[in-house]
Amino acid sequence: MKSCSEIADRLMSLDQAVDQFIFDGCQLALGGFTVTRNPMAIVYAIIRKGVKDLHLVAHSNGQALDILVGAGCVKRLEIAYGGNGRYAPTCIRFGRAVEEGAIEFEDYSNYQMALRFLAGSLSIPFIPTKTGLGSDLMERDGFSPEVRREEKVASRKYARIDNPFSGEKDEVALLPALNPDVALVHAQYVGEDGTVRIKGLTFADLEQAKAADKVIVTCEEIVPRSFIRQDPDQNSLASFFVDAYVKVPYGAHPTACFNFYDYDPKHLNLYRGAAEDDSRFKDYLEQWVFGVNSHEAYLEKVGTEMLLKIKASPGVGYAPGLDRR
Amino acid sequence: MKSCSEIADRLMSLDQAVDQFIFDGCQLALGGFTVTRNPMAIVYAIIRKGVKDLHLVAHSNGQALDILVGAGCVKRLEIAYGGNGRYAPTCIRFGRAVEEGAIEFEDYSNYQMALRFLAGSLSIPFIPTKTGLGSDLMERDGFSPEVRREEKVASRKYARIDNPFSGEKDEVALLPALNPDVALVHAQYVGEDGTVRIKGLTFADLEQAKAADKVIVTCEEIVPRSFIRQDPDQNSLASFFVDAYVKVPYGAHPTACFNFYDYDPKHLNLYRGAAEDDSRFKDYLEQWVFGVNSHEAYLEKVGTEMLLKIKASPGVGYAPGLDRR
Amino acid sequence: MLNYSESEMMAIAAGRLIKDGDIVFAGTGVSILAATVAKRIYAPRAVVFFETGGIDPSLDEIPMTVADLRVMSGTALNSGLIEAFSTIAHRKLRTVAFLGAAQIDRYGNLNTTCIGDYHKPQKRFSGSGGGNDVASLASGVISFMQHEKRRFVEKLDYLTSVGWYRGGGSRRELGLKRGGALAVVTNLALLRFHDQTKEMYLAEYFPGVSPEQVRENTGFELDVSGAKEAVPPTAEELAILREEVDPQGLICQPPQ
Amino acid sequence: MLNYSESEMMAIAAGRLIKDGDIVFAGTGVSILAATVAKRIYAPRAVVFFETGGIDPSLDEIPMTVADLRVMSGTALNSGLIEAFSTIAHRKLRTVAFLGAAQIDRYGNLNTTCIGDYHKPQKRFSGSGGGNDVASLASGVISFMQHEKRRFVEKLDYLTSVGWYRGGGSRRELGLKRGGALAVVTNLALLRFHDQTKEMYLAEYFPGVSPEQVRENTGFELDVSGAKEAVPPTAEELAILREEVDPQGLICQPPQ
């Protein structure tokens, strides 16, 4: 057994990870949900690099999805929900892109998207469900027949069969599996042995990671092997699923990371204000993405005062009493 | 919030749980795997009560399955594996019952059975897989057409379809979901709020519990609400899935329970010796099942010396240096 | 008579619909208040849970989204989307969900996707999220709506989440074996669905509102024949809502 | 020449087949020794894991079953069957499995179910367990067999786990997109499969064994034309096996 850092050859910087694994047109699954555990630091690096034509496959990814759409990196979107809760009931740049016809999009539901990732993670080509029957999710295609012929796009939105184990009529929808090119996960802990531990809700991050061809894990802390192996029941993802590790403390800011920090309400409101206006949004990107050349510079700009305000209290995992309006 | 024991009305004795939930002919899923975390205490109570015609649905359940078969409680069996590792490469009473035509049986694989429970837990009627294609698992039915017409028996062993999302020929097997009448789970911890925590490997216990109509959880310890809620990421099963709780320390003996005790090699060898001969097996049942009228009496019979020998060491979760031949 | 706001009346009217032991799928906003009020007054054994996977959180503070850290704090169990939605669908549980929408029709079908053409909408909303899933799989759905003619429509621009579909037995014929729209709570009234036809009717109008006013704000024909006035919030209900559930006033501001 | 037992030769011959970085599905018995020897000598970055869900356990003691507490101790991660088998099937991993069987045929198909008629067998074995699954889904299977005519048969009594099926491209035609039988390790020899026909051939006979002896103990025609003698266990291999992997001698007793 190597004593330390079995992950040395996969440990890299944000830019290295983006250069090595994210390409124009790649199909990308984002970890997290609305304003929690979005892989923001690497998303900023993707925007800075100017990656184009991304095909996002998303359930309810909020902040990361919206800024990627707003920055013009996204060509195509499979989505269940574009919203940031009370901070933006509908994600503004996402909504506008759809209204302006600027992106190709197709709607599923959260469970459908999660099941599609589950199917991908199980290496099965589809998975049955009852959810969605009768709705326009099943009646209306988003993608054109031309798009359907492209690689990594399902040849049809759904299929339907009668349950072959039932004597009576019993229609079931079949959902096509997803196997994205890359999944991004932001985790609290990575062990020196490469084992990943997510604390709090995992959303569909684990299904997405196991379904993807390549997995980039950004994390708050890299911890000793002895720490991560003390209670393996708590661990989330084995080392052999991961292709790149990047250590970025506060790497989910302005979204939250359980046990580490809360979402940053001031920044989310600032973002919402900016997103409502094209020129203000351009300024936002200049200031917060293009104008900072490293994650460290970004954190300096956020400032120690705010980082301390959103710091999670160990007892509860969030920042009690934080002014969240 | 009630301060203590939200589970009072579901907390009962082994006999009460058996009387209330286990009936002749019921379809039963056993927790555990070969010689680990088998729900032995309640299985003994089932045998003592003289339950008949059980329909077991099993992946690799070992000791609990074999003694239920040997005691004549089982009419029908869906199974992937009947063995106890080095202690009985093929479970002896199971093997004999098959050879003598004493039970109806049908073979699946471990992944197939686990997927069937997963489908049941997801409330979907079937699940696709590639595993098993071409094998006699798919070519040979165990059950007769008459049996197939009974409730809780799948109308066919498998179905096959071509993947509707693929342009080329791509055959997929569909496995029928399982929704057993009752699932038995032996867990390390139950909180006063009814939350269940299993430590170590969970096998297919959680899928089985979520797929079942009724769930009986036996446990080593009942712990305060504050303990079980301190780290909810570690918990396994929410209270609303469980119908009965029984506290039975060493309730998996002679099988193992991670962090609490190892398997009892002496007893497993004793059992194997007994299982090889009908009359010795009858004696074994008399002595160890019918002849003890409570779990406490059973533990007295095992003896403190052995209970201390198999006690798990906190650092590793098993009993290091235990003579396991 | 006590002084209270529209959203306080809505939270309390919805909370009263929860039965003890229900598994309550809560969203954010008024629905989380309704669920919490219900649990603290009428249904102490109800369990509140979220589509993101958090079961029975302590909710010492109000979550602002269903992925808020506050839905994973002090919970019985933290899991993920697959576990949450399969719980919603579980046949042994009575699972009740609160949903909001931009449009609703007479059968309780909901639109949270868009206004106008799907491919190039006049206004795009967030989309289904878990809405379609709970509408398909839960034992029942309670919807929150602003009561306006443009929201209570003859025909949805997009049918995101199925209620009673086309009425009568049509939901069951789709293959949805249980569930359907239980009630609609608006800023004016509580609406329910006829047993056979599954058409919406006015059950209770809130104090200060007339049945006629409800009809005028509904874009389809509404049966108001059996309607009665709702019981206003009690002092106990308001006290719990204001002092225990949302003391910071993040969701409901009490009337000035 | 060093003194060693048949099962030591088997464990070491199989261990040599593991490549660095392989994800090794181990059973119990000789296979766990082979996997551990491989990891300690040839393939330090190989990961040993079990169908029960334990990934990369410390294996300070030898497990006696795949559900032994020793497969969940000191692991990277503890999970369950679904996670383990979906890992076996994962296209980005090279997963290699060790299996034992009662019968094998010329295409490496295995029987672990029964001898005689399926419904009323002369002898019933444990059944597939995870054997069928890894044979269907892994990148490759290495089988352990006792080399006897009644075990190397023209036709299996029951085809539990698919190897090369009926040879040639027949496995792929079934819909099994990868995998197949890599090698068979017996108490006499190491056998492999022809690239095109997928028929078994003798690759290496163990020291002290003749090709003729292998043929005599095989129930179907066996190509021995290219066979050579296997390299005997080295002092290092034996030392690691005896002192580090199985110091209690639970699986292999060294020769008396």
In order, the DSSP letters of D44-84 are TT-EEE-TTSEES---SS--SSTTSGGGSSS-SEE-BHHHH
pLDDT at B85: 82
Q: Is B4 on the interface with A (CB under 8 A)?
A: no
* Of B106, B104, B105, B91, residue with least CA distance to B281: B91
Per-residue b or e along B166-205, where b marks 16 or more CB atoms closer than 10 Å to that residue's CB: eeeeebbbbbbbbbbbbbbbbbbbbbbbbbbbbbbbbbbb
Question: Cα separation of B250 and B261, whole Å?
Answer: 8
Active site residue C204: no
- Chain D, window 134-173: residues with a beta carbon less than 8 angstroms from a chain B beta carbon: 135-137, 158-162, 165, 171
B279-293 per-position pLDDT tens digit: 999 999 999 999 998
| Domain layout of chain D by residue ranges | 6-245
pLDDT band of A248, cuts 50, 70, 90: very high
Q: Which residues on A lie below 8 Å from C161 (Cβ)?
A: 135
pLDDT at A167: 77
Q: List the single residue in A with minimal CA-CA distance to B124.
A: A129
Which residue in the list C51, C199, C204, C237 is annotated as catalytic?
Answer: C51
Residue B287's SS3 state is helix
Q: Which residue has the tokens 């039975």?
A: B248
Q: How many residues does chain A have?
A: 325
Q: Is A88 within a domain?
A: yes
pLDDT at B4: 38
Residue C26's SS3 state is coil
Residue A53 contacts residue A108 (beta carbons within 8 Å)? no
Architecture of domain D6-245: 3-Layer(aba) Sandwich (3.40)
* Of D12, D7, D49, D55, residue with least CA distance to D230: D12
**Helices and strands per DSSP (H, E), number in chain A:** 13, 11
pLDDT at C117: 97
The CATH number of the domain where A47 resides is what?
Answer: 3.40.1080.10
What six digits make up the tokens of D3?
Answer: 């003194």
Q: Is C44 on the interface with B (CB under 8 A)?
A: yes
Q: Which residues on B lie below 8 Å from A128 (Cβ)?
A: 124-128
Cβ neighbours, 10 Å, residue B236? 22
Residue C154 contacts residue C161 (beta carbons within 8 Å)? no
pLDDT at D63: 92
CB contact under 8 A, D118 and B112: no
What would the mean pLDDT of C21-34 be, rounded to a whole number? 89
What would the mean pLDDT of C118-128 be, rounded to a whole number? 96
Q: Which residues on D lie below 8 Å from A235 (Cβ)?
A: 76-78
| Interface present between D and C (3 or more CB pairs within 8 Å) | no
φ/ψ (deg, to 5) at C109? -70, 150
Give the percent of chain B with pLDDT over 90: 93
* Pairs of CB atoms within 8 A across A/D: 51
Q: Is A61 on the interface with C (CB under 8 A)?
A: no
Residue by residue, DSSP assigns B49-64 as HT---EEEE-SS--HH
H or E element in which residue D216 lies: helix D211-216
pLDDT at A3: 33
Cβ neighbours, 10 Å, residue A57? 29
pLDDT band of B164, cuts 50, 70, 90: very high
pTM over 0.90: yes
Q: List the single residue in C with minimal CA-CA distance to A261.
A: C69
Q: Which residues on C lie below 8 Å from B240 (Cβ)?
A: 23, 47, 93
State the chains in contact with C (3 or more Cβ–Cβ pairs under 8 Å).
A, B
pLDDT band of B1, cuts 50, 70, 90: very low
CB contact under 8 A, B238 and C77: yes
* Of A247, A186, A211, residue with least CA distance to A16: A247
Higher pLDDT, A151 or A115: A115
Q: List the single residue in A with minimal CA-CA distance to D85.
A: A122
φ/ψ (deg, to 5) at D123? -140, 125
Question: Cα separation of C39 and B97, whole Å?
Answer: 53
- What's the mean per-residue pLDDT of chain A? 96
For residue C48, give Cα distances in angstroms to B238, C51, C77, C243, D91. Answer: 12, 10, 12, 19, 39
CB contact under 8 A, A136 and C124: no
CB contact under 8 A, A124 and B123: no
How much of chain A is helix, strand and coil, in % rounded to 5? Answer: 35, 20, 45
Beta bridge partners of C72: none
Q: List the single residue in C with minimal CA-CA distance to A79.
A: C127
Q: Is B108 on the interface with D (CB under 8 A)?
A: yes
State the chains in contact with D (3 or more Cβ–Cβ pairs under 8 Å).
A, B
Name which of C28, C56, C59, C82 to mutate to probe chain A: the one with the most chain A Cβ atoms within 10 A of its Cβ: C82
Number of domains in chain B: 1
Q: Quote the minimal CA–CA distance from B34 to chain A in Å.
A: 20
Q: Is A257 on the interface with B (CB under 8 A)?
A: no
Cβ contacts of C212 within 8 Å, gap of 6 or more: C224
pLDDT at D49: 93
| Interface present between D and A (3 or more CB pairs within 8 Å) | yes
Question: Cα separation of A38 and A54, whole Å?
Answer: 17
Q: Is B13 on the interface with A (CB under 8 A)?
A: no
| Interface present between C and B (3 or more CB pairs within 8 Å) | yes
Residue D148's SS3 state is coil
ipTM of this complex prediction, to 2 decimal places? 0.97
Q: Which residue has the tokens 């198909």?
A: D109
Q: Quote the minimal CA–CA distance from D92 to chain A in Å.
A: 7
Q: Which residues on C lie below 8 Å from B239 (Cβ)?
A: 47, 76
Cβ contacts of D135 within 8 Å, gap of 6 or more: B135, D97, D99, D110, D141, D161, D162, D163, D179
For residue A243, give Cα distances in angstroms to A13, A17, A205, A210, D231. Answer: 13, 9, 15, 12, 37
pLDDT at C125 over 70: yes
For residue B285, give Cα distances in angstroms to A104, B67, B275, B282. Answer: 68, 9, 10, 5
B30-76 per-position pLDDT tens digit: 999 999 999 999 999 999 999 999 999 999 989 999 999 999 999 99
* Of B301, B309, B294, residue with least CA distance to B44: B294
- What's the mean per-residue pLDDT of chain B? 96
pLDDT band of C250, cuts 50, 70, 90: confident
Domain that holds residue B80: 4-309
What would the mean pLDDT of B257-276 be, rounded to a whole number? 97
Q: Quote the minimal CA–CA distance from D176 to chain B in Å.
A: 7
pLDDT at C28 over 90: no
Residue B134 contacts residue B141 (beta carbons within 8 Å)? no
Question: Cα separation of C177 and D223, whole Å?
Answer: 60
What would the mean pLDDT of D127-136 be, rounded to a whole number? 97
pLDDT at B2 over 60: no
D197-246 per-position pLDDT tens digit: 999 999 999 999 999 999 999 999 999 999 999 999 999 999 999 998 88
CB contact under 8 A, A34 and C114: no
Q: List the single residue in D with minimal CA-CA distance to A214.
A: D92
Q: Is B314 on the interface with A (CB under 8 A)?
A: no
> Which of B111, B132, B316 comes nearest D74 by C-beta?
B316
A273-306 per-position pLDDT tens digit: 999 999 999 999 999 999 998 999 999 999 999 9
pLDDT at A325 over 90: no
Any idea what DSSP says for residue C242? I
Q: Is B324 within a domain?
A: no
pLDDT at D149 over 60: yes
Question: Cα separation of D147 and D210, whole Å?
Answer: 13
Full strand arrangement of the beta sheet holding C77-78: C77-78, C54-55, C47-49, C23-25, C95-100, C140-145, C181-186, C189-193, C200-205, C228-229
pLDDT band of A169, cuts 50, 70, 90: confident
What would the mean pLDDT of C19-44 be, rounded to a whole number? 90
What angle do the packed helices B92-99 and B63-70 form, to 10 degrees? 50
pLDDT at D1: 63
Q: List the single residue in A with minimal CA-CA distance to C82.
A: A114
pLDDT at C1: 63
pLDDT at A5: 57
> Which of A122, A210, A232 comes nearest D77 by C-beta?
A232
Question: Cα separation of A156 and C242, whole Å?
Answer: 50
Q: Which residues on B lie below 8 Å from D133 (Cβ)?
A: 109-112, 131-132
Question: Cα separation of C147 and C217, whole Å?
Answer: 6
- Chain B, window 266-295: residues with a beta carbon less than 8 angstroms from a chain C beta carbon: none
Q: Quote the minimal CA–CA distance from A62 to chain B in Å.
A: 23
C94-111 per-position pLDDT tens digit: 999 999 999 999 999 999
Q: Is B167 on the interface with A (CB under 8 A)?
A: yes
CB contact under 8 A, B213 and C86: no
Q: Is A104 on the interface with C (CB under 8 A)?
A: no
Any idea what DSSP says for residue D18? P
Residue by residue, DSSP assigns A116-177 as HHHHHHTT-SEEEE-TTTTSHHHH---S-HHHHTSTTS-SSS-EEEE-TT-SS--EEEEEEP
> Which of D78, D86, D93 comes nearest A240 by C-beta?
D93
Residue B52 contacts residue B28 (beta carbons within 8 Å)? no
Q: Is C22 on the interface with B (CB under 8 A)?
A: no
pLDDT band of A2, cuts 50, 70, 90: very low
- What's the mean per-residue pLDDT of chain D? 94
Q: List the single residue in B with minimal CA-CA distance to D250.
A: B325
For residue A270, give Cα distances in angstroms to A43, A207, A267, A304, D236. Answer: 18, 32, 5, 18, 65
Q: Is B33 within a domain?
A: yes
What six digits make up the tokens of A241?
Answer: 């699923």
pLDDT at C246: 86
What six digits make up the tokens of D30?
Answer: 């000789």
What six digits make up the tokens of B190?
Answer: 């139950």
Question: Cα separation of B293 and A141, whole Å?
Answer: 65
pLDDT at A34 over 50: yes
D57-116 per-position pLDDT tens digit: 999 999 999 999 999 999 999 999 999 999 999 999 999 999 999 999 999 999 999 999
Q: Quote the minimal CA–CA distance from B141 to chain A in Å.
A: 15
- Chain D, window 71-90: residues with a beta carbon less than 8 angstroms from a chain B beta carbon: 71-74, 78-82, 85, 89
Q: Is B234 within a domain?
A: yes
